[in-house]
């Protein structure tokens, strides 16, 4: 039986009087790819923010590799092996693509960062693994297409050597060709053993990529199962199309 890599239990987050996430529970197993879907504003990104501790939950627990991690800060969770990409790419605008990737590689140890010399061998390797060319690596992020910006985000997260990747709307704003390339890349990463949770509105692409889907609406879980089961679920249809 596969082990649970991440489990959230009764996770709740309130903004003012509104529950962005309400008693949400789900898990992802080691090596599994999980789709997290739901209409706009249903709490998907908030859930990612809670898992990464970019927001602090009001209630509930988050377990990673069996350990409750609520007390840990963002950088500590990254060191444990959770990493994320952002819905709107957040590159370091004045750094080159290589330097952007390097930020993910740099150890969180002051003395090492002072004495390090930048050779950039690992950056090139990681960049190449996500399809960035040597020319792309020399550029600054403003010169990149949306597809390459997504690749850069992915490269920076992969540089942290994650066990679990949280991918937030990775296909948004991409051309059909770019979606196909990125999808193939994620399949390769999955085959290499990477676990990921992926938020996307592109259900067709998602169908070919995920083992299981969790659906949220108004911050609450409304369905959990295989893509085929979930997509025919009455509650899911109502959430997307209305009654």
Partner 1 sequence: MSWWLFFTVVMGLIPLVSSSHTLRIFIFANFLAIFAMSWDVLSGYTGYISFGHPFLIGIAGYTTAMLTHHLAVPLYVSIPIAVLATMVAGTLFFFPALRIRGTYFALVTLAFMEVTYHLMQVVKPEITGGTRGITGLPLLATGTVLNYYFSLMAMLVIAFGLWWLTRSDVGLVLSAIRMDEGAVKSAGLNTSKFKLFAFTLSAFVAGVGGAFYTHYLGSISPRGMFDINFLFTILVAALIGGEHTIVGPILGAYFLTFLLEYLRPYVPGAWRYLFYGLIALFIYNYAPKGLYQIVQTIGNFIERRILGKKQYGDQIT
Catalog residues that contact partner 1 under the rule CB under 8 A: 52, 54, 73-76, 78-79, 83-84, 86, 90-95, 99, 102-104, 106, 108, 110, 112-118, 156-157, 159-160
DSSP string for 129-167: HTT--HHHHHS-GGGS-HHHHHHHHHHHHHTT--SEEEE
Closest distance between partner 1 and the C-beta of residue 74, in Å? 4
Q: Identify which of residues 114 and 241 has a Cβ nearer to partner 1 in the complex.
A: 114
Closest distance between partner 1 and the C-beta of residue 243, in Å? 39
DSSP string for 74-93: HHHHHHHTEEE--SS----T
Q: Identify which of residues 10 and 106 has a Cβ nearer to partner 1 in the complex.
A: 106
Closest distance between partner 1 and the C-beta of residue 62, in Å? 16
Beta 82-84 vs 220-225: how paired, if at all?
unpaired
Query: Which is nearest to 127 in space by CA: 107, 146, 99, 106?
Result: 99
Q: What is the dihedral of CA 76, 83, 198, 132, to 10 degrees?
A: 170
Q: Identify which of residues 47 and 157 has a Cβ nearer to partner 1 in the complex.
A: 157
Closest distance between partner 1 and the C-beta of residue 203, in Å? 27
Q: Identify which of residues 1 and 110 has a Cβ nearer to partner 1 in the complex.
A: 110
């Amino acid at each position: 039986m596969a082990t649970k890599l991440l489990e959230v239990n009764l996770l709740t987050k309130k903004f003012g009087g509104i529950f962005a996430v309400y008693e949400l529970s789900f898990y992802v197993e080691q090596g599994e790819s999980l789709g997290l879907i739901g209409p706009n504003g249903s709490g998907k990104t908030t859930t990612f923010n809670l898992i990464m501790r970019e927001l602090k939950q009001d209630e509930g627990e988050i377990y990673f590799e069996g350990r409750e991690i609520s007390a840990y800060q963002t950088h500590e969770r990254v060191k444990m092996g959770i990493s994320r990409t952002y819905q709107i790419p957040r590159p370091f605008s004045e750094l080159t693509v290589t330097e952007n990737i390097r930020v993910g590689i740099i150890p969180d140890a002051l003395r090492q960062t002072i004495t390090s010399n930048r050779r950039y061998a690992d950056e090139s390797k990681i960049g190449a693994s996500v399809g960035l060319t040597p020319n792309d690596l020399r550029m600054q992020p403003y010169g990149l297409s949306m597809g390459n910006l997504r690749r850069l985000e992915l490269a920076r997260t992969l540089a942290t050597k994650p066990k679990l990747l949280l991918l937030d709307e990775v296909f948004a704003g991409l051309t059909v060709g770019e979606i196909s390339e990125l999808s193939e890349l994620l399949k390769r990463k999955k085959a290499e053993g990477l676990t990921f949770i992926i938020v996307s509105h592109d259900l067709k692409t998602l169908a070919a990529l995920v083992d299981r889907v969790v659906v949220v609406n108004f911050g609450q879980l409304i369905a959990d199962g295989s893509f085929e089961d979930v997509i025919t679920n009455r509650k899911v249809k109502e959430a997307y199309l209305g009654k």
